[in-house]
Amino acid sequence: MFQTFEVTSSPQAGPARLAKLRNLMAERDVDGFIVPRADRFQGEYVAPADDRLAWLTGFTGSAGFACVLKDIAGVFIDGRYRVQVRDQVADVFTPVHWPETQLHDWVRAQEGVKRLAYDPWLHTVGQVEALEKGLAGSGVTLVPTDNLIDVIWDDRPAPPHAPFTAYPDDLAGERSTDKRARLADALRDAGHRAAFIASPDSIAWLLNIRGTDIPRNPVPHAMAILHDDARVEVFCQPEQAADLSLDDGVVVLPEGAVLAALTDLDHPLRLDPDRTPYAIAQSLQDDHWVKGQDPCVLPKARKTNAEISGARDAHLRDGAAMVRFLAWLSAQAPKGGLTEIDVVTALEGFRRDTNALRDISFETICGAGPHGAIVHYRVSEDTNRPVSMGELLLVDSGGQYMDGTTDITRTLAVGQVGTLEKTCYTRVLQGMIAISRARFPKGVRGSDLDALARYPLWLAGQDYDHGTGHGVGAYLSVHEGPQGLSRRSMTPLESGMILSNEPGYYREGAFGIRIENLIVVQEAAAIEGGDDRAMLDFETLTFVPLDRHLIEVTLLSSDEHAWIDRYHSDTLQKIGPRVEGSALDWLTAACAPL
């Protein structure tokens, strides 16, 4: 069944809600209020009860924020959402290009702003410190307050409270007790007695548990304190953890007890400034906390052998579902009558037919024709578009399986398309191949590799406004840091990190192209004649055919040509035994040599 998880909002609702917020601001004697996308756990995806930005503005993107002043209300969005935001927000909101325009610079440019309010639970330590620094000397004072949106949101959904579940040790590859002991050792080595963990995916990984508090992301709404003796205090709704068999090293406390527990500590607490709500630091004396990374972040990113093996299995299962879907689509699309919602519904059905799908890993992006140019487009009943002959269809989707999280994008030709579409598709494909074939020394960061994917487009004066790749969890969040492939990815890549490889090209009002496989960093085999330098490369996890009808073979180098043929040969060998009948016939034809 086609469904989305969104709060009730529309451009028509925006003016009335904005007026209510401004009336409350006047009552509270503040000149502005910041409305972030994030919840108190600082995740990219939020529960309906926490989707305040969408409720106020109508904007449903996964990143951005609003700053409402007396006479202007800015909606700050990055390059992925500049088409989408114009369709979703009323003209009482002003789109602001971010991060090109920083919030502090924008506020400084406005008249009459003296008291700027914010909810300290919804902004990280680092964000508040950066904003304070940026506003220094401007005469603008930051005012922490309760959440003003919550005051005026009369029909706000109830917060989630689903039970947490255990995650099998054999799939995790390491027991929770061993993880906690290992991280406690690292805390002591760093001279820290305890660390605060605000990220649900970190807690899920550390305790080998999962939850359903966030749609599409199997994480629990919880925070925790990890001590240097490996003890953990977990703060959540206790009934959610009632069915877990936790050992004596884990204590479950009510979520409302977190501030009291922090103030009872007799030693400084490590806080990750990029993940910890400012309200936590605000509750502590300055000498009772120190900055440091969430201790789970890098160990979680370095997948165990069991997690990588599970990811391989999940991708083969998911690849077979994708092949059945693509075979179905190739037969149905020429008949006419298909819409974007039909495609989304069918694809989820093929994944559910595996009898292993726990959920899709995010709302499927299915953009026909010009909708493909909206990078994170989500079809609704209002925007549902026919899948028409002579157009491109972009489908970005994924599944959550117990043994892994998948994320794949394929751009498809529906009938015959033009030379421009084929040329652009081939350049995007060349960039994806360049990342797939990359070999690099240890210590190289995602920012160092990002240009490889863009170079074929750059030669043609083209580019795209999103990162080339993001980290992916192991039956966890489909977007996982700190690893990534983008200009902002400063974390060195390490063996075991799973990433997406997804360059693209978007022509507003015409078409969008993105091709995405998941890859895992591995130790590279030695090369004869090399200098014994430790090197890394990528193993491809995703095996689903590329659309041969869109490949302009004359643009390919011999190495690129060989890579595609080898990829298709591997795909047929791995996926062929998992499908039959018309799906196998389609796969065999799709994987033939160029």
Alpha-carbon distance values, 155 to 14, 34, 243 (Å): 15, 21, 31
Query: DSSP code of 377?
Result: -
Q: What is the pLDDT of residue 92?
A: 82
Q: Which of 81-85, 310-314, 452-456, 529-533 is the least confident region?
A: 81-85
- Which class is domain 302-590? alpha beta
Q: What is the pLDDT of residue 436?
A: 98
Question: Taking residues 331-353, what's their average pLDDT?
Answer: 97
Architecture of the CATH domain 14-152: 3-Layer(aba) Sandwich (3.40)
Q: Return the CATH number of the domain spanning residue range 165-297.
A: 3.40.350.10
Given a cut of 90, whether residue 528 has pLDDT beyond it is: no
Given a cut of 50, whether residue 439 has pLDDT beyond it is: yes
Cis preceding linkage at 482, omega within 30:
yes
Confidence at 345, pLDDT banded by 50, 70, 90: very high
Confidence at 26, pLDDT banded by 50, 70, 90: very high
Confidence at 326, pLDDT banded by 50, 70, 90: very high
Take residue 263 and report the two structure tokens written for it. 């103030």
**Share above pLDDT 70 across residues of the chain, in percent, rounded to a whole number:** 98
Handedness of CA 193, 204, 291, 38 (dihedral sign): negative
CA distance 429 to 503: 8
Question: Where are the chain's structural domains?
Answer: 14-152, 165-297, 302-590
**Contact by Cβ (8 Å): 572, 548:** no
Question: Taking residues 444-466, what's their average pLDDT?
Answer: 98
Given a cut of 60, whether residue 551 has pLDDT beyond it is: yes
pLDDT, tens digit (0-9, with 9 covering 90-100), for 566-585? 999 999 999 999 999 999 99
Are 14-152 and 302-590 equal in CATH topology? Answer: no
CA distance 122 to 560: 46
Higher pLDDT, 295 or 43: 295
CA distance 586 to 350: 16
pLDDT, tens digit (0-9, with 9 covering 90-100), for 33-66? 999 999 999 888 899 999 999 898 888 877 889 9
Question: Taking residues 181-194, what's their average pLDDT?
Answer: 97
Helix or strand or coil: residue 518? strand
pLDDT, tens digit (0-9, with 9 covering 90-100), for 73-117? 888 888 777 777 787 777 788 888 988 999 999 999 999 999 999
Confidence at 188, pLDDT banded by 50, 70, 90: very high
Given a cut of 90, whether residue 234 has pLDDT beyond it is: yes
Q: Which residues contact 580 (CB under 8 A, 6 or more apart)?
A: none
Q: What is the pLDDT of residue 80?
A: 77
Give long-range contacts, CB 8 A cutoff, 24+ apart: 121-124: 121/40, 121/147, 121/277, 121/278, 121/279, 122/36, 122/38, 122/39, 122/40, 122/147, 122/277, 123/34, 123/36, 123/38, 123/277, 123/278, 124/42, 124/273, 124/274, 124/275, 124/276, 124/277, 124/278
Q: Which residues contact 386 (CB under 8 A, 6 or more apart)?
A: 336, 337, 338, 339, 368
Q: What is the pLDDT of residue 10?
A: 64
Given a cut of 80, whether residue 219 has pLDDT beyond it is: yes
- Beta-bridged to residue 94, according to DSSP, are 74
Phi, psi of 580, deg, nearest 5: -150, 175
Query: DSSP code of 291?
Result: E
Given a cut of 60, whether residue 545 has pLDDT beyond it is: yes
Given a cut of 80, whether residue 5 has pLDDT beyond it is: no
pLDDT, tens digit (0-9, with 9 covering 90-100), for 498-522? 999 999 999 999 999 999 999 999 9
Average pLDDT over the chain, rounded to whole? 94
Cis preceding linkage at 99, omega within 30:
yes
pLDDT, tens digit (0-9, with 9 covering 90-100), for 126-157? 999 999 999 999 999 999 999 999 999 999 99
Q: What is the pLDDT of residue 89?
A: 78
Given a cut of 80, whether residue 452 has pLDDT beyond it is: yes
- 163: number of Cβ within 10 Å: 14
Helix or strand or coil: residue 34? strand
Q: Which of 5-9, 22-26, 242-246, 355-359 is the least confident region?
A: 5-9
Query: DSSP code of 236?
Result: E
Given a cut of 50, whether residue 249 has pLDDT beyond it is: yes
Question: Taking residues 296-302, what's their average pLDDT?
Answer: 98
Q: What is the pLDDT of residue 9?
A: 56
Q: What is the pLDDT of residue 4?
A: 47
**Contact by Cβ (8 Å): 427, 452:** no
CA distance 16 to 355: 45
